Structure 1
Amino acid sequence: MGNPPFIGGQKLTGALGTDYREYLVNRLGGGQRGSADLCAYFLLRNLALAPGRRTGIIATNTIAQGDTREVGLDQATAAGWTVYRAIKSQPWPGTAALEVSLLWLGGSAGKDEQPVLDGDEVRGITPGLDPRSRVSGKPYRLAANAGQSFQGSNVLGKGFVLQPEVAQALIEKDPRNKDVLFPYLNGEDLNSRPDCSASRW
């Protein structure tokens, strides 16, 4: 059973260095590129070490989402591993404000073992930690949604965030500053400000 440290996929190189990131991608991830969180690589390493072809992991709920799922659980199931028990998402019982997933994987399920997802018996569990249904396989991005939205900015440090009056003062001081100063709108602003304006720059 493993409980890896959390490092998001966007922060792996900065936190651990380029060489370590390349080791994770090429040696553990089989060359699968993507912005996978560290827990995906811990899962793959656990599978390589699993005695009796059974293992478990406590991971952030991103283990079943996007690039992290593609690098970890998608590759695990393609290699013949089965998620036979899982809790898709629950709050971490400690002080950290995050959601975790609990997973148990096996090389094969016993003939009397019924997969259990979130406490309920199901026919099977997908890499997205959903109950298996008639429709199976890897989900694909819809081409019709291209260009509809984007992730937004990854602000790497609070030193880049300014109060509106500070930003305006910098623009007044030198109009060229308008080329690099923009309203910084996040979900909190959209949900708490009636005009959905940015509270920071």
Structure 2
Amino acid sequence: MVTESIKNIFLSASVPLPDRDAKYIESADIIAIRDAVIALTTVVLPYHRIIWGGHPSITPLIYYVMQKLGMNIQDHVKLYQSRWFEKMFPKDNNKFENIVFTDSQGDISSSIKHMRERMLSENEFAAAIFIGGMNGIEDEFKMFVEYHPNALLIPVSSTGAATKIVYDNLLPENLKNTRLEKDYGYMSLFQKFLMDKI
């Protein structure tokens, strides 16, 4: 396992909820979202570190891959979690050693913003991956670009939902690629677009 040059990869992902904005659920490919998160984690974790803001649909998938890989790679994951959600934390949170808890700011919107600001300002990132999601994906894309303008951006448009909106409307034209729109072979996609470039 390579440890000397561990790089931080930001993951912005979630499975859209049916009771939220219809524009996210209409194009969401739930199976693709899960497959992409599992593939990303499988490809990245042995060599680099994934940092993400805790989401109940994503954190268990990352732990599942850690178990499957059978490696003691706790230092290759870092989870940020706002105390605003303390009563709703997924049980899988307890399985991670590197959790950064951020203070509640009095309301949900301010608390999430505070958590994202800390997460993006306290770490250097080589790349960011965007998968599925809702309005938080759009917010995190804009914030990430502001904090890390030179990092690699990979919105996996084939997963639909907010990531497709980001890809279509926010990603510079020169970064668009048909494979990000149509390729569901996520293991090879992340190898080519991420691992071969960082």
Using the size of structure 2 for normalisation, the TM-score is 0.30
Point out which structure has higher relative CO (alpha carbons under 8 A, 6+ apart): 2
Structure with bigger helix share is 2
Structure showing greater radius of gyration is 1
- The TM-score with structure 1 as length reference comes to 0.29
